[in-house]
Structure 1
Amino acid sequence: MRYAQGGGLTAERRRFRERIRYEAGERFARGERTAAIAKDLRVSERSVERWRRTWRESGMAALASAGPPKLPKLSDEQFTELEKELALGPAAHGWEDQRWTLARIRALIARKFRLDCSSAAVWRLLHRHGWSWQCPARRALERDEQAVGLWKKDVWPQAE
């Protein structure tokens, strides 16, 4: 994974990368070659080429950091409240089965917090807080747990 689970870079790391781009911009103005700049700054030539094109089209100001990524729509307190709602299960919120889908969580967020967000944003929010996708176990309707237990106890040891 490229970034920490929380996403994005720290302010210090953004400033560091910005200084590298500015140094490259100064060297573009002096007419230095891409390969030499990349080697000295310890970055890829592709990055230097991209920065040079940006510098040529929009000037030195375009090499500035774009700033931190957008903050999540739900605060930590709201997410804690959402987790409590998720723990109640989908049936408590009007759905027939016990599966949480991104669309259902999105609808719950819209109802509870009056926020509209995409399914991708819901996935990122859940992932940021350590939630992961789970596949429900498939069980036959005719499954007899008592018979399975007896088989494991009596038949399986003999098969080994």
Structure 2
Amino acid sequence: MRNEVRGPAPEADGAFHERSNSGVRRRDGDGRVPAITTTDVQMLSRTEKLPSVVRRMTAGQMLLDGASVDAVAERLHLSNQTVRRYQATVKAGGLAALQKMSVGGRSSVLDQEALEWIALTLQGSARAHGFESDAWTNARLRGLIEQRYGVRFSRVYIWQIATKLGLGHLLSKSRR
């Protein structure tokens, strides 16, 4: 019989790691999640490690395990339409087909420094940038990026940037 370790255990680097639907975040000995580093941002170029791909694969596994479309959508914060598309892909070609799905789009015009600025900005207060509350919204972040870098991105791409940085959860949901 194997010994099972329950709870967080330190990794080789001495830090604790938190596993979540959006990837792995390093924790220090005090249990705090440190700020995103340059190395963290560089690692985002690995497609299979992208939070969106990890979440897609988690959805596929949940569907194979018998979870309903509604349950997967709610648990992973995905639309029902997206989960149904994943379900059709898994039925047609299994998890391998789901993993091969493109993350889409061309490379970002934002460089490493810009991504680091966005990560630090999202980890701070929106109030520090002149907004009336601390909450970050897609529109607020999009406006700041346009103001600072002179490029306007779509609402979807702003969400993708935040998600790739592991910070999508900090953007308030739209109430359309």
TM-score, scaled relative to structure 2: 0.37
Greater share of strand residues, 1 or 2?
A: 2
The higher radius of gyration belongs to 1
Greater share of helix residues, 1 or 2?
A: 1
